[in-house]
Amino acid sequence: MLENDFDISKLTSFKIGGKIKKVYLPETVDEFIEILEKEPDAKVLGNLSNTLVSSFGYDGTVIITTKMQNVCVEDTKITAECGIKGPKLSKIALGNGLSGFEFMIGFPGSLGGNIFMNASANNQCISDKLCSVKCFDGLNIKDYSKDEMEFSYRHSICSEKRMIVLSAVFELEKIDRSIIEEKMNDILTFRKTHQPSLALPNCGSVFKNPENNSAGRLLESIGAKNMQQGGVHVWENHANFIINEGSGTSLDVLMLMYKMSGAVEQKYGIKLMPEVRFLGGNNKDEVELCGKLGIK
C-alpha cells in the first residue's frame, strides 16, 4: 500500500508532523523486502512512539511496519514480526502463561523499535528473553543471535549499521498466569503515576539516563517542570516528558529540548543525550538544533 503526500501527524504519538512525500505500509515480510529493494534509501519506522516528525514534512520515502503483526507461539517460544505493538505481544504471552513480556504492557512502541533500542522497564528488557533476530541489511536477510546484536542500554547493533528488524524469536518462562497478570497490573499502576498516558500527546522519555544518574532528577533540579515553548510544555509530574498541548510544532519541541539540556549542562556539566529520534530536514533551524542536541 502506497500513500503520497501522507499526513503523518495522525499516526505519531506526539500528534505532530507534516506531509511525507511517499509512505508505504507493507503487510508481509516479502512485501516489505520488495519495497526496500525498490526504495533502498527509505526510512523505516514502527509505531512512531519515540519519533518526532518535522511539522515541515519530509521529502523522502518512509516505510511503516505496523501492519506486519504475525505471531507464532510454540510451547515456550514466541516468534513475532516487527510491527506488533508491545501491549498486544504482552497479552499474547499472558494468554499462553508465558513470562518475560510483562514490562511491555504499557509500551506504545512496536517490536522492531523495541529491539532497535533495546527497550526496557521495571527490571526487564527486550533482550532478556531474546534468542535471535531476523534482519535485512540491504542485501541479505540474516538471523542474528542475541550476542551478535550487541545489546546495551538503549542500544543494539541496528543503531550502528543499517539493519532492519523483520522478526524475532524469544524463549519465555512458563509460570502461573495469575502471577504474570499481577506483575502486569503493578506495571500499569506504576506507569499511570510516573508517565503520561497517550491521551496527553507525547513521545515517551525525551532524554536517556546518564550513567549512574537520572535524566528526570537532573531536569527537575533545574526547574524543567516550569518550562514551556510555543504549544508544548514539560509534564508537571515528571521532568523528562514533553506534552503537546494541541498546537505544538516540531520546532517547539526541539527548542524546548535545547533549553532543558542546556540548563542541565550549565549546572552539572552533563550533556543529556536524546532518546527521541527525528525525521525531517526541510527547516534549517530544526537541522541546526538537532546537531546541537545530538539527535540522529
What DSSP assignment string belongs to 183-200?
HHHHHHHHHHHHS--TTS
Nearest CA to 216 out of 237, 230, 233 is that of 237
Catalytic residue among 31, 150, 154, 177: 154
Is 13 catalytic? The answer is no
Which regions of 93-129 does DSSP assign to beta strands (E)?
98-99, 120-121, 124-125
Is 152 catalytic? The answer is no
Cα separation, 281 vs 109, in Å, equals 24
Catalytic residue among 110, 167, 205, 250: 205
Is 220 catalytic? The answer is no
- Count of CB atoms situated within 10 Å of the CB of 16: 25
Nearest CA to 31 out of 55, 2, 58, 3 is that of 2
- In contact, 149 and 157? CB cutoff 8 Å: yes
At how many degrees (to 10) do helices 250-268 and 284-293 cross? 30
Q: How buried is 107 (Cβ within 10 angstroms: 0-12 exposed, 13-18 middle, 19+ buried)?
A: buried
- In contact, 241 and 226? CB cutoff 8 Å: no
Catalytic residue among 81, 102, 275, 286: 275
Cα separation, 82 vs 77, in Å, equals 16
Residue type, 38: K
Element (H, E) at 268: helix 250-268
Nearest CA to 164 out of 13, 20, 11, 39 is that of 39
Cα separation, 227 vs 215, in Å, equals 15
* 50, three cell numbers: 519515540
Active-site positions? 154, 205, 275
